[in-house]
Amino acid sequence: MKCNLNRKIIILAAVVLAGLISATVFISVRNTGDRIIFTVDGDPVTYDEFIMQAGMERANVISYFQNQYKAQFTQEFWNTPYAEEYPKEKLKKVVIDKLIRTKVIKKLALDYGIISDTSYKNFISEMKKENKRRAKAIKDNQPVYGPKQFSIEAYYSYYMSTLEVAIKNAMKAEPDQKQEMYEQLLEEKIRNAKIEIMENELSSIEFN
């Protein structure tokens, strides 16, 4: 009887321990996405945001190396040097440049009162709200323009273009001057942005 009781205790302890380990792994995996890769004027770019942008730029970088160096896309592609250019490093640079622009645009939208949060988490939250709204509209037989549901990439393009239009509309200038004024302001903000890269985090990112 005592032996059976001890056995039950051991089994129960093992189950609890397994549950704790699973929870720890789950939390660790989820927290990975919140790692800060770099900041733009103190505004963080997380791992999830970086990887999302990398997914959008990936095909263009592959195409560049195929056209420029006749490179073949293999398992070793990202870490193979082509005339001292590494695909992995080029993709990272492209992503950083794109996300600097994104963060500057979001900061402008924040300054004009168009949005209240520049974080990637907020962007994902807004996408989920929009997809939920579209699903309800379809269920209620209401018109839905564009896709029934946005992918992250599609919503990103939609979201950023909407912000840019809203910023230009908010600028105090003649309608025919707003585009030029916006581009000048944007380039100035990008040029003067303070970028801090977390080198260890950036170097740990691999592509496949």
Amino acid at residue number 139: K
- Specify the residue for token string 């995996």: 29
Q: Which tens digits make up the pLDDT trace of 31-56?
A: 478 899 999 999 999 999 999 999 99
In a domain, 208, yes or no: no
Amino acid at residue number 188: E
- Specify the residue for token string 């004024």: 181
In a domain, 4, yes or no: no
In a domain, 147, yes or no: yes
Domain that holds residue 84: 10-203
Tell me the C-alpha distance between 130 and 150, whole Å.
8
The CA-atom distances, in angstroms, between 104 and each of 127, 131, 182 are: 20, 26, 12
Quickly count helices (H) and strands (E) in the chain. 7, 3
In a domain, 105, yes or no: yes
Q: State the average pLDDT for the chain.
A: 88
Phi, psi of 36 (to 5 degrees): -85, 125
In a domain, 1, yes or no: no
Total of domains in the chain: 1
Q: Which tens digits make up the pLDDT trace of 63-110?
A: 999 999 999 999 999 999 999 999 999 999 999 999 999 999 999 999
Q: Find the mean pLDDT for residues 124-131.
A: 97
CB-CB contact of 88 with 206 (8 Å): yes
Please say if the pLDDT value at position 151 is more than 50.
Answer: yes
pTM above 0.85, yes or no: no
In a domain, 178, yes or no: yes
CB-CB contact of 131 with 158 (8 Å): no
